[in-house]
Amino acid sequence: MKSQFRLFLLFAFVLISVCASASTWDGVTKTAWAVVPGVNDGTAADKPFLIETPEHLAKLAELVNGGQSYAGNYFKLTSNLDLGNKLWTCIGSVNPFSGFFEGDGHTISNLTITKWSQNIGLFGLITSATIQNLGIESGTITCGGSNAGAIVGQATGASGNLSYILNCYNKANLVKGATDPRVYMGGIAGLLLNNSMIEHCYNKGNITNDGNASSSNSGGIVGAVAANSTVFSCYSTGIVIGNNIKGGVIGSNWSAASYVFYDSDLCIGTNAATQTIGNVANSTTVKSLTSAEMKLPAFVTTINSGGTTWKVKSGDYPSLPWEGGATGVRTIQNRGISIHSGIKSILIDGAELNGSYSVTDISGRIVRKGVTENSSLNIALPNSGIYIVRIGNQIAKVIVR
């Protein structure tokens, strides 16, 4: 009888724990995350602060808006979060977030924002930050100020210390709700101001920016892209409505964009976008496609542009590598070799002794090469960015901050 009672208590405890973990945010409570020095103190990619609840995420917003940028610190989302359609305060608005946020293949649902000033999104303003492997599953963002995106409102960086938005998606809708004359609005980000990158992201949310906005810019992925920034390997299937400059993927682009596509079968209606980039002519790698074309395996090959990030999803649009299970890409493992990205450095574990290695930048220029003398190798790099690591006959792409 006692053993049965213990089992009942254990079952009840597990049930309560599961229910508690599935609870939605009350819109008020903010709770600091636990910190264990040397374990999860935010000092390294393998020691991140753990964001486990909506209350933790709300606390992050409070601290960043209070002036803590978290530059050089790492965060990891450990579960899917439901914000309960309560009004969300953006993480960074005047004060930026400058850390590394690893979504680890998790999602945010019921994101609701109503804001009339600038920099509007889950993250309002980021500077030299990285947001990756994160999905916005549902929500509505109503904005009247400039720079509105579901993941990030405005991203800015510096030469050698870029802002990155990588392997993310959005399914929330964005709606212009006031008469600000200049609104940059996109499914992933509102504005890439400078030295910022969006790579391997998609949008399925609708963008409605057709109010009295004579200089508005609207795009399925991003509203506007300024100098020294880029959008690469992205697609959008959402409707983009705007009364000024609009594009299925990018509203206005003054920098670089390639391998970006939108679904012309779905992006239709009065004042809907009719080209991929609002102020740039279509090309071989910047164009619209039909729904059927975007659901073919051949499209995955095209948008991957020689890489392997996008995955075929039978009868559907391409999916990200983490969809269907959290993976996190900051560590790439292959045949016992682990490659970890750090701040201007790469750590290789499990390499064969006396094996050759090389590190090249995105342009193909070799920045480091040599022979492994130990199974663990720490390689210092001149700048942050995207690097290709070759160890023997194995190749991996690594994003370095």
Structure confidence by residue, pLDDT tens digits, 29-50: 999 999 989 889 999 998 999 9
Work out the average pLDDT over 280-308. Answer: 94
pLDDT tens profile 298-341? 999 999 998 889 999 999 999 999 997 543 333 343 445 677 76
DSSP structural state of residue 74:
E
> Does the pLDDT of residue 11 top 50, yes or no?
no
pLDDT at 146: 86
Let me know if 397 is exposed, middle or buried by CB neighbors in 10 A (0-12, 13-18, 19+): middle
How far apart are alpha carbons 363 and 365 in whole angstroms? 6
Residue 7 has a pLDDT of: 40
Question: In 3D, which of 217, 235, 216 has the Cα closest to residue 276?
Answer: 235
Domains, in order of start, for the chain: 23-304 (2.160.20.110), 331-400 (2.60.40.3080)
Cα dihedral value 11, 17, 20, 22, nearest 10: -90
Confidence of residue 370 (pLDDT cuts 50, 70, 90): confident
Asked whether the predicted pLDDT for residue 375 surpasses 80, the reply is no
- Provide the β-strand partners of residue 323: none
Least confident among 46-60, 113-127, 366-380, 386-400: 386-400
Confidence at residue 2, expressed as pLDDT on a 0 to 100 scale: 41
**What pLDDT was estimated at residue 369?**
86
Per-residue model confidence (pLDDT) at position 326: 40
**What is the torsional sign of CA 301, 302, 303, 307?**
positive
Structural contact between residues 348 and 376, judged by C-beta atoms closer than 8 angstroms: yes
- Across 168-197, average pLDDT: 89
Length of the chain (residues): 401
The share of the chain scoring above pLDDT 70, in percent, equals: 85
The answer to whether 387 and 360 are in contact (CB under 8 A) is yes
Give me the sign of the Cα torsion angle 70, 74, 78, 82: positive
Give CA–CA dist 89/95, Å, rounded. Answer: 13
pLDDT over 90 (residue 52) = yes
The confidence score (pLDDT) of residue 235 equals: 98
pLDDT band with cut points at 50, 70 and 90 for residue 165 = very high
Per-residue pLDDT band for 187 (boundaries 50, 70, 90) equals very high
Structure tokens at 265: 């079968």
Digit-coded pLDDT (tens) for 244-261? 899 999 999 999 899 999
Contact (Cβ atoms closer than 8 angstroms) between residue 52 and residue 348 = no
Torsion angle of the four alpha carbons 249, 255, 256, 262, in this order, in degrees rounded to the nearest 10: 10
pLDDT above 90 for 99 = yes
Q: Does 194 score more than 50 pLDDT?
A: yes
| Placement of tokens 């601290």 in the chain | 63
The mean pLDDT of the chain is 86
Instruction: Check: CB of residue 220 under 8 Å from CB of residue 249.
Output: yes
Question: For residue 229, is pLDDT > 80?
Answer: yes
Which of residues 5 and 114 earns the better pLDDT score?
114
Higher pLDDT, 105 or 182: 105
Lowest mean pLDDT among 15-19, 63-67, 271-275: 15-19
How would residue 178 be classed by pLDDT, with cut points 50, 70 and 90?
low
The whole-number pLDDT of residue 179 equals 60
> Is the confidence at residue 198, as pLDDT, over 60?
yes
The per-residue pLDDT for 57 is 98
DSSP per-residue codes, 21-67: HTPPP-SS---PPP--TTTSSSSSTTSPEEE-SHHHHHHHHHHHHTT
What is the structure's pLDDT at 401?
Answer: 66
Q: How confident is the model at residue 230 (pLDDT cuts 50, 70, 90)?
A: very high
The contacts of residue 166 (CB under 8 Å, 6+ apart) are 130, 131, 132, 133, 197, 198, 199, 200, 201, 329, 399
How confident is residue 157, by pLDDT bands cut at 50, 70 and 90? very high
More confident residue, 254 or 385: 254
| 363, pLDDT greater than 80 | no
Highest mean pLDDT among 107-111, 279-283, 348-352: 107-111
What pLDDT was estimated at residue 12?
39
What are the strands, taking DSSP E only, across 138-210?
A: 139-143, 148-149, 152-156, 163-166, 169-170, 173-176, 184-186, 189-194, 196-199, 202-203, 207-209
